[in-house]
Structure 1
Amino acid sequence: MVSRSYSNLLELASGESPSFERMNRRIPRIMTVAGIMSDIDDDPSESVCSDPSSSSGQMYRIIIVANQLPIRAQRKSDGSKSWIFSWDENSLLKQLKDGLGDDEIEVIYVGCLKEEVHLSEQEEVSQILLETFKCVPTFLPPDLFSRIMEVINPEDDFVWVHDYHLMVLPTFLRKRCNKVKLGRMLGLSYESKRGYMGIEYCGRTVSIKILPVGIDMGQLQSVLSLPETEEKVKELIKQFCDQDRIMLLGVDDMDIFKGISLKLLAMEQLLEQHPEWQGKIVLVQIANPARGKGKDVKEVQCETHAFVKRINERFGKPGYDPIVLIDAPLKFYEKVAYYVVAECCLVTAVRDGMNLIPYEYIISRQGNDQLNKLLGQEPSTPKKSMLVISEFIGCSPSLSGAIRVNPWNIDAVADAMDYALEMADPEKQLRHEKHYRYVSTHDVGYWARSFFQDLERTCRNHSRRRCWGIGFGLSFRVVALDPNFKKLSMERIVSAYKRTTTRAILLDYDGTLMPQASIDKSPSSNSIGIINSLCRDKNNMVFLVSARSRKKVAEWFSQCVRLGLAAEHGYFLRLMRDAEWETCVPVADTTWKQIAEPVMQLYTETTDGSTVEDKDADPDFGSCQAKELLDHLESVLANEPVTVKSGLNIVEVKPQGVKKAKRDFVAKRLLSESMQEE
């Protein structure tokens, strides 16, 4: 089966063969700016598709867009300054083309050349590459990046990068300007209950703030005051309220993740289980036009219409349809009018970002004097609103008065709808007041100001830091150091060593003496020899700190008589080979191991390559199933005097209080021994 380039992944995932149409449009020969293609002229004879064989229905075309074309370019050596082009056989893109086969698929490349081509030569080069190699080169102005970067002044400007589309942009900006004042926003739900966090990263403080975006209060209130909104509200009151009907409202995009069909099934369940609501409630489902096209969108549309038809035929009657589907585009003031009249808003998305529909509904229900008059309410009458929202949307944690549901649980959604309808007015008023107070005070202006204030606070000391860039590509990082930092040179170490009489030397094992990637974790004979050389000097007190078990490190360094060992992160300590092992805290009751070990052994058996190591204090267990193991251990050891924590490829179970006690144990013991010798 021939692989084909395709953009609709959901259609591919359905298991059905997608339809590919032959693209007969002309391919431009040159691109002058990224994303903007232009033709040199309009002569159809120069089109890639002008060849009858290439326009045959038997051929498919795949356009491969890459940073660089799989082409080698060099100047001729005869002094003519002409170009010589050839395929780069080592390029993955060229190998990909060979794998597809020229007989069935036409491959077009779009990208940059590895060499800079002068503006006067670009037309000729483009013609050669298109006709000979079917490559469309993109020529970017050489100063484009510099001109863009000149706009940013790292000393004064702040840069705010929005959403996942520019995920790697901060790395490139840091690479260009180490001290750039940079913040980024990701529009996704975050489960942490901590509103503001700071983590140390490469000497810099990276602040993480969890703050839902708000709505534009001014814009929404101005729409509420429009005459068109008032007219639409009058129309809806006549259509629903005057008929003694209660409106439930759903506003969603026509998308598979919005859960429209689940909402309709819940409505059907509600009418079936509670016949008293038949003829009294109406679900108005506003389905915004889909943002994309494809088989999945058509399936959602067909499924939605089928559900609406079935439910209306089953529970409807002359003059009453329990579901009103609006799948035509609506103006914003029309949606606001529906918000004003609806008694309850339903959001049943199975996966979503922030979703500000509930916020808009709450503000619209607060209304204004003119709308209150249309609804027959006094200005002093407390307003009310009800929300049934999915627990999977970003605004869910902010609306504590809403009824949260799992949209996949149809029975639970139906029960929530019934609960919202049956709720007493005073309770609805209290919930609405709570929501309105939060939404009105946490609008988009508050969100922006709060973000900027935190960004400014985080970057306040940037000018005092000394920054260095390390790494390449996406692994590039900026390391920030204190102004008083001094590089530890070999000369400085030797000088300090020679002028001192008593020295305490602490050596780390994993990752320092022994590389993390090394398969054989035992020390080399060269390392043993160096350590013994240091230990022979009686003025040196040498300690080696390791996360390994005391049995393992004692075996590895048995040749080092005067070497002090700190095993299992310092929990066990031995001053020299013939000394007894000491502990930083009294040996704790370890009967809990009888509970933990069977659980760990179970996960070890189901995870290839994992092991369980009994260290008496810090069991070290790396596993791709560490998260599930962590949850399991926390559950079974809930009543035991131990702590369970995870790290990079490690899950630890240890007695409570060990971390604080062992943190400085090795250093204090070294100082104590040094003072006794003096």
Structure 2
Amino acid sequence: TIKANHQHRHIIAGVDVAQRLSGVALKLLAFEKLLTEYTVWQNKVVMIQRMIIPNSRRSDEIATLNQVRGLVSRIKASFGDHVLDYTEHYGSSLPIKERLSIWLASSCFMNTCVREGLNLHPMEYIFTRKEPIEPGIVIASEFSALCSILNGALKVNPFDVQMTASCIDKALSMENAERLGRRHRDIGFVGSCPSSKWTKNVLRDLREVTLLNYQRDTLNDAAMLDKIICTPANPLAIQAAYEKTSKRVIILDFNGTLVKKEPTGKYLKREILGTSGQKPPTKVMQALRKLTSDRRNTVFVVSGDTQENLENAIGHISGLGLAASNGACFSWPSMPGSPHQWYNFEFGDDWTAVKQVALPILSKYTARTNGSTIKLSDASIGWSYYSCDPEWGGLQAAHLLVELEHQLAAFDVRFVTLKGVIEVVPKMMHKGIVVKKILREVASRNNGAGVDFVLCIGDDVSDEKMFSAVYKFKSEENDDYNNVTASPSVKPKSSNISVTNARVMNEVRSLRYRNIDEEDYAFTITVGKKTSTNASDNSSGTTASHYINDASDVEDILVTLAGGDVSQRSLSWDFTENVGVDFFA
């Protein structure tokens, strides 16, 4: 038997297809690192590695086998033949009798794929080692599909060889109580999901998606007959208005506007915002520097990302105002060489008390939902299940939302449900709050000289509040301050002392223009063609006055306003589309 051949040794099992994406070379490098740095295991462990050669991708298989054979020879030369039991098998799979004998003999199963679909071997291993057999531990690559399914598995990044070796050591030396606990997390799920159920679920999902797509297309076709597509933006009109004015405010979203959104599938098993590690294109940076250097301009970037990510991406541009976390905190434009001074809005709730209630609930659901994470920002508490098994994550999210609504009923908060995320935020918090604050402050300058040019660009539903804030501001011009809703008070992030409007943002004068007959312009632009709607409509349309195609069009607008040349216009810039439209009426 296998145990008799490897007496008194812990067995690590692995069965993989001989292809580069299986990550067997990375597994062997981690095993070599374990034997090198954790010398106690040199005479106590053996890895059983079976390579399946299906002859479906010959060049890939040959290259992978050559690399793996070289590593096997090197490990055996360094530590002896007894540390590796390596064989190759031709065919599509290893016979089930041989697989079961390996699962029963091994104390650990290891998968270090770089990318793969659903691999049933880890679940077969867990089921084989159900009671009364001693539990085994699964080490799973974070790039595998099973990583989102098995709560009891140890997760590794195969490219981090040192961390993977440490994880092997942890699995081999794990106490039995923890092994039992990890098996208990998965055995119920694995035991109740045979392959027939998986097949039925896949077919059911395909049928539901097909029906939903058909219904959505039918409804969209009918709805489009009654809706008006938003007007394409005209850069010549924007440029002409810009050159006519001198009290300008430019407000820009970040991800999806200044920076193109990353494909959702670019990063596996992680949810990474488009701002993470990304900066706007060079031309956009240059245009922003030129625009912020003009004393007649106030330029702000309002983002849903964190303060840290926003500062890392564009914080070095002097004279650029920043607002992070969907407007929860902001920094007025800084002078060259000066750090940003950040302020928080005070929304009236004791956010510490909200966290004390919400975090234990979120921690409970995070523990039971593999792949979920808790995200904290200045004025929001988020629970992300983006990287979870979709069905399980969605089910847990539904239960979590009910529990949060019940426990936080005494607080003035609301719940934002996005794709893969539930967020708890102050009821008053949205991007429109900081946009209105910016506009009111700029308008209060020079004894209430006002604002004669507003350009606001965004791309998603959170930016609709920015557009609404622009319209609200314009409607309040020359009104009495007592008739409008004041913005929330603010305080420095480094202090608990509230800052008065007179010190940071003097709103009272912003509603008083010296010249009410002065020409002024406001452009609200959404990225992507959408149907027009009104602020009270709950449809998926936009309240923006114009649209552009994508983030490259935003670049063209900014470069044009900064006095640069745009060699090629996209279709949304085609002036012939707008013949007969008087943008200055």
Q: Shared fold (TM-score greater than 0.5)?
A: no
Question: Of the two structures, which has the highest relative contact order with CA contacts closer than 8 Å and spacing of 6 or more?
Answer: 2
Q: State the TM-score, normalized to the length of structure 2.
A: 0.44
CA radius of gyration, larger in: 1
Bigger helix fraction: 2
